[in-house]
Amino acid sequence: MQLSKTEEQLMQYLWKLEKAFMKDLLDSFPEPKPATTTVATLLKRMIDKGFVNYTLYGKSREYYPLVKKTDYFSKHVNGLIKNFFNDSASQFASFFTSETNLSTTELEELKKIVDKQIQKQKQ
């Protein structure tokens, strides 16, 4: 299951904060801030989807993520590779490196990361 763009934005704030009350989440948004009811509706949908839960303190709810950012992003990227690049990581890498205007330094850093992962998997 995926998050909508607005849910994803709220989830980014929650991942950053790790745990947050409604006020903390609202403070994270830039101006103009969304209405409290809008954020409450987003949180309810995210709870229903299994991305968020909360702990009740009296009448206040402290929200926390149930899904790690890396897990969500990994699933997202794998879906992107499957749906847009014929399930080919090399097609994705080719597109990514040629279409994102990476500098030589950034490309060299990517190469080091890939080489390091190759060595790790060979062990």
With a pLDDT cut of 70, the percent of the chain lying above it is 100
Using the structure block, give the residue that is written with the tokens 């080091």.
112
Residue 103 and residue 108: Cα distance in Å, rounded?
Answer: 9
Sign of CA dihedral 30, 36, 40, 41: negative
Q: Does the structure show a pLDDT above 80 at 1?
A: no
Tell me, yes or no, whether 74 and 60 share the same domain: no
pLDDT digits (tens, 9 = 90+) for 5-56: 999 999 999 999 999 999 999 999 999 999 999 999 999 999 999 999 999 9
Is the same domain home to 75 and 38? no
Which CATH number fits the domain that encloses residue 36?
1.10.10.10
Contacts of 14 (CB under 8 A, 6+ apart): 20, 25, 52, 63, 64, 65
Tokens, residue 94: 């080719």
The total domain count for the chain is: 2
Paired sense of beta strands 52-57 and 20-21, if any: unpaired
User: Which of 65, 82, 108 is a domain's end point?
Assistant: 65
Q: pLDDT of 80-93, one tens digit each?
A: 888 888 888 888 88
Specify whether 55 is located in the same domain as 83. Answer: no
Closest CA to 41 of 60, 64, 22: 22
Spatial separation of the C-alpha atoms in residues 65 and 20, rounded to whole Å:
10
Q: What pTM was computed for the model?
A: 0.73
Written as six digits, the tokens of 38 are 């809008």
Instruction: Report the amino acid identity of residue 19.
Output: K
Q: How far apart are the first and last CA of the chain?
A: 35
Tokens of 114: 């890939």
Structural domain of residue 42, as residue ranges?
5-65
